[in-house]
Structure 1
Amino acid sequence: MAKSSKLVVAKRGRVLLVRRRRDRLWMFPGGRKRAGESERKCLRREIGEELPKLKLGPVKLWKEVKAKNRRSGRKMSDAIFLAKNASGPLKIGDKKEIDRAVWCKPRGIRLTPTSRYIRDKLFPK
């Protein structure tokens, strides 16, 4: 089982990203699982905490990533979910962790190592 869950949603060539307050790096929304929590429930909870006004359509597991990131050396253990539909305002819920949320092009932005890995697999140059 993965240790965390991430959401990837794209529309009109843009992806949904959130910015971490502590290092100002952008990432796909999501977070760590709690004890006894499934990856899907973790994703729904984290999205509800980070972006409480966002309405998601059905989510589908794309891939479980269990690898060592070649660039950062960090061990990844993530369940990556794809959503076809997302709507609603990008109001930040957890302002201690996240300071911005945007729809933007997936290139030309400073991403966390895991989000960079996901971007490179799903949105190759």
Structure 2
Amino acid sequence: MVKSSKLVVAKRGRVLLVRRRRDRLWMFPGGRRRADESEKACLRREIKEELPKLKLGRLKLWKEVTERNRRSGRKMSDAIFVATKATGHLVIGDKREIDRAIWRKPRGIRLTPTSRFIRDKLFPKRTRRR
């Protein structure tokens, strides 16, 4: 079973990202699963803690990732959910863990290794045609 759940939601070419206070790296919101909860319940709880004013539409499991990140060597164990809709203000709930939340393009920003992996799978770089 996976250890954590992550949320990917896109709106007008931008994705929702939060910044960790401890190392100032950006990531897709989410967190660690408790022993007594499902992956989806974990994600809903984490979003409520991190971004309490955010309202999510339907959540769909995109993929469960349990592998080693080739770039960082770190082992990942995540359930990655995609939300069909997200509304509300980006107000930070847990200010000890997260200090910012933004909608932005997923490239050109310092992401955590897991979030880089998710970004590269869901939003691959486009090659220009000449």
**Does 2:60 match 1:78?**
no
Structure number, greater radius of gyration: 2
**Does 2:41 match 1:41?**
yes
1:1-125 correspondence runs (5 A): 1-125=1-125
Q: Share of identical aligned residues, percent?
A: 83
- Note the alpha carbon deviations across 1:66-121, whole angstroms, 9 max, x for none: 00001111100000000010000000000000000000000000000000000000
Unmatched tracts of structure 1, length 5 or more: none
TM-score, normalised with respect to structure 1: 0.99
Report the AA paired with residue 100 of structure 1. R
Report the AA paired with residue 67 of structure 2. A
Q: CA RMSD in A?
A: 0.4
Instruction: Report the Cα offset of residue 59 of structure 1.
Output: 0.3
Aligned equivalents of 1:113, 1:65: Cα separation in 2: 13
SS at match of 1:100: strand
The structure 1 segments of at least 4 consecutive aligned residues displaced by more than 2 Å after TM superposition are: none
Unmatched tracts of structure 2, length 5 or more: 126-130
Aligned equivalents of 1:93, 1:41: Cα separation in 2: 18
TM-score, normalised with respect to structure 2: 0.95
Aligned equivalents of 2:118, 2:67: Cα separation in 1: 12
SS at match of 1:106: coil
Instruction: Report the Cα offset of residue 35 of structure 1.
Output: 1.1
Aligned equivalents of 1:15, 1:75: Cα separation in 2: 24
